[in-house]
Amino acid sequence: MSEQLLKQILNQFHQLNEKLVQGLDHLNQQLGRETHQLNEKFDQLNQRLDHEIHQLNGKFDHLNQRLDREIHQLNERLDQVENNMATKEDVADLPLIKRAVLDASDSIKRLEEIQENQQRIIDLLSARSIQHEAELKRIK
């Protein structure tokens, strides 16, 4: 009787083991599907981020070109003012010339601040992109 009882217990353990293996196989398959879906979503997110960063870089390049042109124009104007000051003998216009130089200097300072702010934004976006890539690699 005890041998038969042991066989029944072993049989039940065997059946339980098979159910556990089947359950684990099912969970493994489900985990594989979900991992694949997550990888696809992360790939899509990475593509979107790359596209948005590319667009932002294009916008920043355009803004930098525009700022460079404006700074160049301001430098040309400043050069003209300096040339006029050097050749002008009429000191009555000196206060006006000083005001124009100060205005140009203020404009250049504002443009430099804008350019520095843009560089900080580019650095932040680059860091975020690197962080996202690292997270994607860690997840994969």
pLDDT tens digits along 66-112: 989 999 998 999 888 777 765 546 666 667 778 878 888 888 898 89
- What's residue 45's pLDDT? 93
Identify the residue with better confidence: 36 or 1.
36
Alpha carbons 135 and 104: distance in angstroms, whole number: 46
Contact 101, 86 (CB under 8 A): no
- What's residue 6's pLDDT? 85
Q: Give 6-43 pLDDT, tens digit per residue.
A: 889 989 999 999 999 999 999 999 999 999 999 999 99
- What's residue 88's pLDDT? 47
Alpha carbons 75 and 101: distance in angstroms, whole number: 10
Global pTM? 0.39
Q: Which two tokens stand for residue 96?
A: 């006006």
Residue with tokens 């556990």: 20
Is residue 63 scored above 90 in pLDDT? Answer: no
| DSSP designation for 20 | H
Which pLDDT band, with edges at 50, 70 and 90, does 119 fall under?
A: very high
